[in-house]
Structure 1
């Protein structure tokens, strides 16, 4: 098992034992999808691409790709963002 995997496993166990939210300790994004019209993401690392059809976001787990129509950034804060529009797909690349 690679060092990175061992470290991640240890952090998960530590998080479970001390009841610390995993998204905080493991640098995971918190993603909330409301229907197919709004997407809220906390703990992101920035926007890689932004068009009305595609938004690509950097996260601690890699890249998150959002595809749809009439996509628009509603809120953009250092650790949180909100996308609105007609969301068709959401995937980790």
Structure 2
């Protein structure tokens, strides 16, 4: 019952207050510039990092980014800017 109420309330707030879905649903926001930069907001933490792979914890699941020559340019509690040659961005439901 509480889940249905919360879902209806979030939907109403999103529609009437014109808030973006990523804010209301606690989703990550991913911005890519070509294959060389990826900016990820609203993650829950860094799980693994190497020069070919980064794995971030999300509210639901994980985000895996694969490529080459990765360098973390900026890292904040809920934001990360990754530079390198990006070949894949995958959502994992683990």
Give TM class, smaller chain: 0.7 to 0.9
The aligned residue for residue 25 of structure 1 is 24
TM-score, normalization by structure 1: 0.85
Show structure 1 runs of 5+ residues with no match.
none
Distance 2:83 2:5 in 1: 36
Displaced runs of 4 or more, over 3 A: 6-9
Show structure 2 runs of 5+ residues with no match.
none
Residues matched between the structures, number: 91
TM-score, normalization by structure 2: 0.84
Change (3 A) 1:7 1:69: farther
